[in-house]
């Protein structure tokens, strides 16, 4: 009999705890949906500050609940405790709708470090595709260098020989190599693939160093678009006028802006179209070689890679460095074939002109 009573008591306790937890979750969900401090206050009577904060934080950002966030932070939530997950939820909210400036400002007001790193990338890296958000964060102390990471020398790597000499004098361990080039690569590499030229130059003006893969990532960003099902003929109303009405993050997602980035890097910054993607002697996984390698690998089979391939070839990219690993990449190989036919035609016309 005592055993039966003990079992019944345990069952009742478990049931009660389950009901309380269900009630707690309900209050948190409702509080965040309507941004109600009375509801979150009730939730705090059923659970600890840490428990409520952990459950509420994802919804605070997805539902945009600044009052709830402010209430939690002024009633015991430690901003340092939530620092590890804050950037992730901010970035997710920014991607799904818009950068939550009011929520981020509340965190900053309570001492949150905008450059905090939990895994690999600080917040700025995660929202680089949104130029307005990037500018806002830079104004509030966001750094263009990852916190606590041994990175590039202070000078930009336009001088490849000087950069190679630097690595010979100050060798990096295997882990440091991965940290630098893989886990948290230079922010301009991400910007080259995801940002507008305007945002890229804003970051560069703040001292952001060029990485080894800036042109490689820019070319990838253009090549990864799907091939249009039908050719689109431009209307009389110019597309440039329409693009000027887009937000920075919308413009960054267009084929035209991704190609503008490639042209900017080659024509204005004079980056080498046959550049390697890592320092001499380094061997890192998922690093493919030259810019054309990235085009072939990422967009050569199903991607809309013709425009960027032809551009790089016309600027001096060497297709023979890439063709051996591009077998089966039909879209890429078709573009190379088209370029070679153009070269033959130009040579014939030039010869005929001389005669």
CATH of the domain at 190: 1.25.40.20
- What the block records as the tokens of 334 is 């078709």
149 C-beta neighbours (distance < 10 Å), count: 15
Angle at 56 between CA 53 and CA 60, to 5 degrees: 120
DSSP state for residue 180 in the 8-state scheme: I
Provide the domain limits for residue 163.
150-226+245-355
Query: In the numeric block, which tokens belong to residue 161?
Result: 């020989």
Instruction: From 82, 112, 142, give the residue that closes a domain.
Output: 112
The whole-angstrom separation of Cα 50 and Cα 56 is: 10
At 226 the three-state DSSP class reads strand
On whether residue 5 sits in a domain, the answer given is no
Residues 254-286: b if buried by 16+ CB within 10 A, e if exposed: beebbbbbbebbbeeeebbbbbbbbbeebeeee
Ranges under pLDDT 70 in the chain: 1-15, 119, 149-174, 176-183, 229-244, 346-355
- 63 and 160 inside one domain: no
The half-sphere exposure of 322 on its side-chain side, counting CA atoms within 13 A, is 29
In this predicted structure, what is the pLDDT of residue 278? 80
Q: What is the 3-state secondary structure (H, E, C) of 238-300?
A: CHHHHHCCCCHHHHHCCHHHHHHHHHHHHHHCCCCCCCCCCCCCCCCCCCCCCHHHHHHHHHC
What's the total number of domains in the chain?
2
Rounded to whole angstroms, the Cα distance separating 260 from 238 reads: 16
Q: Which two tokens stand for residue 318?
A: 């060497």
pLDDT on residue 299: 87
Same-domain check for residues 68 and 194: no
Are residues 91 and 165 located together in one domain of the fold? no
* Phi, psi at 302, each rounded to 5°: -120, -5
Secondary structure class of 236 (helix, strand, coil): coil
Is 173 found in the same domain as 85?
no
Residue that is written with structure tokens 């009660």 in the block? 16
Q: In this predicted structure, what is the pLDDT of residue 19?
A: 86
Looking at 112, 128, 158, which one is the last position of a domain?
Answer: 112
Identify whether 220 is part of a domain.
yes
Whether residue 194 sits in one domain with residue 89: no
CB 197 within 8 A of CB 251: no
Q: At what angle do helices 214-223 and 187-194 cross, to 10 degrees?
A: 20
161 and 101: one domain?
no
How far is CA 245 from its chain centroid?
A: 23
9 occurs within a structural domain: no
Is 240 within the bounds of a domain? no
Distance between CA atoms of residues 346 and 222, nearest Å: 27
């Amino acid at each position: 009999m005592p055993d039966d009573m003990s079992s019944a008591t345990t069952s009742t306790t478990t049931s009660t705890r389950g009901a309380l937890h269900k009630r707690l979750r309900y209050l948190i969900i409702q509080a965040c949906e309507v941004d109600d401090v009375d509801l979150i206050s009730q939730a705090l009577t059923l659970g600890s500050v840490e428990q409520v904060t952990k459950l509420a934080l994802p919804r605070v950002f997805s539902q945009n609940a600044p009052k709830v966030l402010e209430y939690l932070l002024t009633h015991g939530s430690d901003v340092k405790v939530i620092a590890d997950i804050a950037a992730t939820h901010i970035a997710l909210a920014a991607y799904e709708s818009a950068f939550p400036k009011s929520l981020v400002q509340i965190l900053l007001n309570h001492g949150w470090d905008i450059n905090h790193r939990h895994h690999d990338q600080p917040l700025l890296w995660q929202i680089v595709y949104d130029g307005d958000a990037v500018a806002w964060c830079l104004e509030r102390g966001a750094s263009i260098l990852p916190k606590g990471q041994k990175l590039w020398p202070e000078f930009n790597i336009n001088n490849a020989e000087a950069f190679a000499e630097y690595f010979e004098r100050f060798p990096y361990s295997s882990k440091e190599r991965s940290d630098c080039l893989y886990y948290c690569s230079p922010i301009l590499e991400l910007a080259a693939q995801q940002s507008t030229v305007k945002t890229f130059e804003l970051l560069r003006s703040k001292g952001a160093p060029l990485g080894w893969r800036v042109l490689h990532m820019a070319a990838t960003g253009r090549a990864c678009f799907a091939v249009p099902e039908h050719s689109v003929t431009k209307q009389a109303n110019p597309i440039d006028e329409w693009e000027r009405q887009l937000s920075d993050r919308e413009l960054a997602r267009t084929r035209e802006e991704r190609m503008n980035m490639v042209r900017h890097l080659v024509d204005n910054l004079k980056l080498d179209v046959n550049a390697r993607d890592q320092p001499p002697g380094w061997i890192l996984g998922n690093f493919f070689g030259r810019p054309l390698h990235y085009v072939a690998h990422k967009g050569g089979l199903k991607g809309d890679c013709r425009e960027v391939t032809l551009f790089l070839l016309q600027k001096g990219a060497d297709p023979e460095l890439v063709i051996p690993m591009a077998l089966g990449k039909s879209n890429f190989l078709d573009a190379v074939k088209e370029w070679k036919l153009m070269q033959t035609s130009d040579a014939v016309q030039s010869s005929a002109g001389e005669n």
